[in-house]
Amino acid sequence: MEPNNGRSSGGPNKRTIEILQQMATYYDRVGDNWRTLAYRKAVNALDKQKELVATKNQACKIYGIGSRLADKIEEIVSTDRLQRLESVSSDPNDKALQIFMGIYGAGLTQAKLWMDQGYRTLEDLRDKATLTPNQQIGLDHYDDLQQRIPRAEVKMHGDVVQKALLRVNKDLEAVVGGSYRRGMPDSGDIDVMIMHPTAELAQLQAWVFDVVIPYLFEIGFLKCALATSHTSKKQARTTPAKSQRQEETTPGENSIEPISPLATGSDGGSKFHGASCLPDSTVWRRIDLLLVPACSRGAAMIYFTGNDIFNRSIRLLASRKGMRLNQHGLYKNVLRGPGRVKQTEGELVEGRDEKKIFEILGVPWREPEERRC
């Protein structure tokens, strides 16, 4: 197995990947899920090619690349540029929109609203707009929160959480998931799963929400809560751009439930979103804590390791086999009505063991580093 950190390897299609990646980022920003997915799939597919893919014909033969994308690949290779990308990135309104959407907590809708009110720059917002407390934080820490976090620093944030957990119970564990667990050299945020060999959710909530999080605020590590499933709905409504997108479905994949990380049901909450800062630093980072009951450790590991595309495909596969996979477990005998809409929860087949879930689904085990699509 070749070690691959999930970033483009610098192979023969490096330049094409670079440009397609920028298109994916653009579509992601403007909330076009379907194109984002198509571009990301093409990036992943190209990254695996050992030779330069130069023509439409060659590109079309690759699984994961459709004919329109194949056209774009040919354009990039033959002209070293992509007109579509240049037109989107030179439109001043689009630039303002992208800047606004870069504010943590502001999605497309909010960004458009600001545009409609005549604002075009961050200074406009600072001076003239009425912002929610979270938007204010997003604006004040705009540059920090935009930056990717180096792997070593992600680990240090995880270590702070781990230390705080040990003060409460010696078996509590902080496992850093997300892009970090997939081996990426840097991350957009810090995703920490909080687990214990036997504790169920209520116990974890008591430890984490009542003791650990207040302590982490006290020592100045946690700076603010941005949205948490534990607090009132009102606070959780300031939804980060990422999760807004998660709630939408993609054409052709509407048979799986949208992945909604803030969904709580009646469990009283199992997530905390906020910002954290290391003792000797002034840079605020985005941090997500996920409380994982012992019975769903494996399912949560899969969910919180991602990536999102891998999660979609493994969930779709489960649903095709009459099962259902979510962050709590793998369920069978799920009754589905028209449009494959779920009608019953089904019976839990496996939740604890990540490998067993793969096995039951008949999916060969994939190391986190390989979970890219």
Task: Report if residue 189 touches ligand DCP, rule: CB under 6 A.
Answer: yes
Beta-carbon count within 10 A of 347 CB: 11
**Which alpha helices (DSSP H) does the chain contain, by range?**
14-29, 33-47, 56-60, 67-79, 83-90, 92-101, 108-116, 122-128, 133-140, 142-146, 151-166, 178-181, 201-207, 213-218, 233-236, 241-246, 297-305, 308-320, 354-361
**Residue 194 is a binding residue for Mn ion (CB under 5 A):** no
User: Is the separation of the CB atoms in 294 and 194 below 8 Å?
Assistant: no
61 an active-site residue?
no
If one asks whether residue 189 binds Mn ion (CB under 5 A), the answer comes out as yes
**Taking CB under 6 A as the rule, does residue 311 contact ligand DCP?**
yes
Which residue, 169 or 249, has its beta carbon nearer to ligand DCP? 249
306 contributes a contact to ligand DCP by CB under 6 A: yes
- Of 73-81, 103-111, 206-214, 298-306, the window that binds ligand DCP (rule: CB under 6 A) is 298-306
Taking the C-alpha atoms of residue 43 and residue 307, their distance in angstroms, rounded to an integer, is 14
How far lies 140's CA from each of 27, 201, 283, in Å? Answer: 25, 34, 11
Q: Give the nearer residue to Mg ion in terms of CB position, either 64 or 188.
A: 188
Catalytic residue, candidates 14, 48, 61, 72: 72
Closest contact distance (angstroms) between CB of 238 and Mn ion is 16
Site for ligand DCP in 43-62 (CB under 6 A): none
Closer to Mg ion by Cβ: residue 178 or 368: 178
Q: How far is it, in rounded angstroms, from Cα 334 to Cα 348?
A: 10
Q: Please, what is the minimum distance in Å from the beta carbon of residue 16 to Mg ion?
A: 26
Would you call 149 helix, strand, or coil by DSSP? strand
Q: What is the nearest approach in angstroms of ligand DCP to the Cβ of residue 154? A: 9
Q: Which is nearer to Mg ion, 74 or 191 (CB)?
A: 191
Among residues 134, 229, 307, 326, the one that binds ligand DCP under rule CB under 6 A: 307
Q: So which residues are the catalytic ones?
A: 72
